[in-house]
Chain A
C-alpha cells in the first residue's frame, strides 16, 4: 500500500507510532496527483509549496494529534486566506480572500495540510461539474463520465486517492450525489451544524458544509472537527456536538429503518433498486427493523426547490457587481451598464438562468404564486419527514436515480439535469442530515445509498452507515484509472 491510499485514521495511527512523517505523506500525495491529475482534473489550484512547508512544520513540532500532518482538499467555495478562491466562476477568477472560512480554519488549526482547491460547478449550481467555468472533472471509475456535482472535484479527488478527505457543500445534493457517483462516503449534516462563514453563498436557507472520505470513520472524525456553533454565522446552531467516533460500534439491533416507497419509484434504475433492497436485507440480517413508509409530497420537493434556491441565489449573487471584487467590464460607460456587463461577462449560463428565475419568482405579481407557494410546499415536505421520524430512527433510499452519466450527455436541457437531485433535494428542504455510502456497482459504476436522520442526529447515521460498511466492504474498492 502506498501512503496516498491510506485513510485518515490509518495515517493517524502511523504518524502517532512515528513510522512515517507528514512530509512523506504529502510527497506521496503529490506524486499521486502528478500521476493521475491529467486524467481526473479535480483540482483548480494546487498549493504544493505551502503544503510541504506546513508538513515540515508539523513534523518539527512532532505532535500528531487529530488530523495534524494529514493532507486535505477543499472545494473552491471555501475562502482561504491568501489562496485563490474562484467558486468555479470566471467572475471570481482572480479573487484572493483576505480571510478563512470557519470550517477550513478549524481544520487548519488542527494542523491539517491543504493540498489544493477542488473543481466545482460554478457557484455550486449543477450536478456534473460541467458548469465549472474552467474545465470538467472526470469520474475516476470511468473517465468519460461525470463525477457528479456540484462538489465533483472533491468526490473525484477522494475516489482517485489524490486526498484522503475533502470538504464540500450541499444545497440540493451537491455532496451526496457526487459521493454516490464516485463511490465514496459523503455527509451533508443538519442545516446549521457547520458554520457557513466564509463559504461563498448560493441558497442560504439550504447551503450546508460537509465531508467526503473513503470510509465512515474518517467522515465522523472530520465532522467532529468542523461541527459546532460559530458566532460569525447566526444560523449556526448552538447544539452540542457528540463524540461521533463513539457511534461506530457496528450495532444496529433494534434500529428502526424506514424506506419511502416514493424513493424506489421516480424512474430509479433497476440495478439501483436491487442494490438498495439488498442493503435493507443486510440491515434486517444485522437485527434492524425495516419497514416501508410514505413521504407523499416527495415529488413536489424538486419543483419547490427550483423556486426557493434560485430566489435566494438571485439575492446572494447580487453582490457580484464589479465594484468590490471580481470581474469588471472597464468599457462600460455608466454604473448600471458596468453592473450588467460585468455580470453578463462573468457568469455562465446556468448561473444566469437561476438568477433570472429567482428574480422572476420574487418579482411583483409573481411572489405569491411562486416563491410563497414554494415555501408552503417546503413546510409540507418537512412535515412528511417529521411524521416518519415519530416512529423511525433513520430513512434509507437510493442517493440518485441513476449511476454516473457521460460527459455532455445531459448538458442540453437544464430540466433533465435537475432530475439528478430528485432524491436528495427533499432532505435540504427539510434541513435534515443526509449521507451517501457506497452500496454496490452497476456495470463498474458505483451506487450510493442515502441515509437520512433526524435533525442534529448525525450520530445515528454514522452508526448505521458504519455497521453497513463493516459488513459489506464496498468502501475498499478503488478505481484503477487505467494505471497498474
Chain B
C-alpha cells in the first residue's frame, strides 16, 4: 500500500512534526515501502496467538509509598529552554 499525502500529514500531526512538502513526498514513499515490508507478516496465521507485550514474567511492580527527598528544583530546571519563578515557561496557551 502507498500512503497518501493526507495520511502522511495526519501521521505527522500525531507525531507533532512539521514537514516540508518535499519531506511529505519523501517520507510518504519511505514509510510506504517499510509498511509493505511489514505486510509480509500477514502470511502468518496468528488468530490464536497471545500477543507478547512483555518478555519477563513480572506484573505490577509496587514499592511502598514513602516520601523521599527529590532533586532540587534549580537542578531540574537547569536544562529548561525557558524558566521563570521556578517553573517552565511556554508560549501562551489560552
Task: Using CB atoms and an 8 Å cutoff, list the residues of chain A in contact with chain B.
Answer: 94-96, 98-99, 191-192, 205, 231, 234-235, 237, 297, 299-300, 303-304, 306-307, 314, 318, 321-328, 330, 332-341, 343-344, 347, 352-353, 355-357, 359-361, 363, 370, 372-380, 382, 413-415, 430-431, 455
Min CB gap A305→B, angstroms? 10
Min CB gap A222→B, angstroms? 23
**What are 9 pairs between A and B in contact, CB < 8 Å?**
A231-B63, A322-B81, A323-B90, A353-B34, A360-B11, A376-B46, A376-B52, A413-B33, A455-B55
State whether the Cβ of B50 lies closer than 8 Å to any Cβ in chain A: yes
Closest 3 CB pairs of A and B: A431-B55, A375-B51, A325-B79
Tell me, in angstroms, the Cα distance from A332 to B92 when the chains sit together: 11
B11/A359 in contact, CB under 8 A:
yes
Inter-chain contacts of A373 with B (CB < 8 A): 41-42, 46
B34/A98 in contact, CB under 8 A:
no
State whether the Cβ of B80 lies closer than 8 Å to any Cβ in chain A: yes
B46/A380 in contact, CB under 8 A:
yes
A334/B91 in contact, CB under 8 A:
yes
Known A205-B54, A328-B81, A359-B14; judge A335-B91 contact (CB<8 A). yes
Tell me, in angstroms, the Cα distance from A297 to B40 when the chains sit together: 12
State whether the Cβ of B67 lies closer than 8 Å to any Cβ in chain A: no
Tell me, in angstroms, the Cα distance from A191 to B88 when the chains sit together: 35
Known A373-B46, A375-B53, A377-B46; judge A353-B27 contact (CB<8 A). yes
Known A237-B56, A375-B53; judge A340-B44 contact (CB<8 A). no
Beta-carbon contacts under 8 Å, B26-59 to A: 27, 30-31, 33-35, 37-38, 40-42, 44, 46, 49-56, 58
A306-B37, A379-B51 given; 12 more Cβ-contact pairs under 8 Å: A98-B71, A300-B44, A323-B90, A341-B18, A352-B17, A352-B23, A355-B15, A363-B11, A373-B41, A375-B51, A377-B49, A430-B55
Smallest Cβ-Cβ distance to A355: which chain B residue: B15
Inter-chain contacts of A377 with B (CB < 8 A): 41, 44, 46, 49
